[in-house]
Amino acid sequence: MLVNATKRLSEAGVASARVDAELLAAHVLGIGPGRLLLVDTVRGVELRRFDELVERRARRVPLQHLLGTAAFRHLELEVGDGVFVPRPETELLAGWGIEHTAPGATVVDLCSGTGAIALAVADEARPALVVAVERSPLALPYLRRNAAAFGTVRVTEADVTDPELLAGLEGRVDVLLCNPPYVPDGTPVPPEVAEHDPAEAVFGGADGLSVIRPVVARAAVLLRPGGVVGIEHDDVHGSAVPDLLRADGRFTEVAAHRDLTGRPRFATARRA
């Protein structure tokens, strides 16, 4: 069953064909993938369900949509139509945010989507408050459901480019994190992204910086002196985003960070 499914997925251009086949099989059987080798019989109904999921994956429906969840650091987040699937590379920005969150801190996560970054901070650090900001009416229900178990997380429906964003927190935020839409408009993306991630979660205007520019300006107002900001960006923006932070004039310690594949991935700075 796994051999045929892997072949079908490879032929459809799925890069991680074997892993995807195993995860779908484990999902159908209701077991962890590590236990697949111990399975000696599969019921007909399970086989049909598996074939159906493999066929949808071959049509490039994202694996996480078929599973209904995406793994992010120590969390399993609900995902589906209308919300951006959190990516492994964003775990690095979340990890940086967690390292910089002192007990009792106030943290803001802009462009929160499923809440991946906000909830990882709430889960792994001891903030007093994490404000998760999202605009999309389709993404917000996922964010609210994912955040429901976290008492320190406050979901706020707002546009992060609003010059008055979170006015009550001006000068009081310790850590501000943001994984915005940043792919330059018109950039070719795989079918999973083009057909299933919301366009407003992916594309950031002609140069990819249309959300990042106002976020940098607002971060300078929201952060307390000494507070820190971390912004994920496209790999073509390894210089552009650090330059925007320097050009603002209100930040020090501007730094560029690469992901595990060596690509420029996020920029950080400290409010002077």
Q: Which residues bind ligand SAM (CB under 6 A)?
A: 84, 86, 90, 111-114, 116-117, 133-136, 139, 159-161, 179-181, 198, 200-201, 211
Taking the complex as a whole, the smallest distance from the CB of residue 73 to ligand SAM amounts, in Å, to 11
**Closer residue to ligand SAM (CB): 112 or 268:** 112
Exactly one of 127, 180, 214, 264 is catalytic; which is it? 180
Q: For the chain, where are the E strands, in sequence order?
A: 69-72, 75-78, 106-110, 129-134, 153-157, 173-178, 223-232, 251-258, 264-271
Taking the complex as a whole, the smallest distance from the CB of residue 173 to ligand SAM amounts, in Å, to 16
The residue number with the shortest CB distance to ligand SAM is: 113
**Is 180 an annotated catalytic residue?**
yes
CB-based burial, 130-167: b 16+ in 10 Å, e otherwise: bbbbbbbeebbebbeebbeebebbebbeeebbeeebbe
3-state secondary structure of 219: helix
**Is 150 an annotated catalytic residue?**
no
Taking the complex as a whole, the smallest distance from the CB of residue 152 to ligand SAM amounts, in Å, to 17
**Closer residue to ligand SAM (CB): 58 or 93:** 93
User: Can you tell me the distance from the alpha carbon of 220 to that of 254, in angstroms, rounded to the nearest whole number?
Assistant: 13
Q: What is the DSSP letter of 271?
A: E
**Is 84 an annotated catalytic residue?**
yes
User: Can you tell me the distance from the alpha carbon of 184 to that of 206, in angstroms, rounded to the nearest whole number?
Assistant: 5
**Closer residue to ligand SAM (CB): 181 or 238:** 181
Kindly list the catalytic residues: 84, 179-180
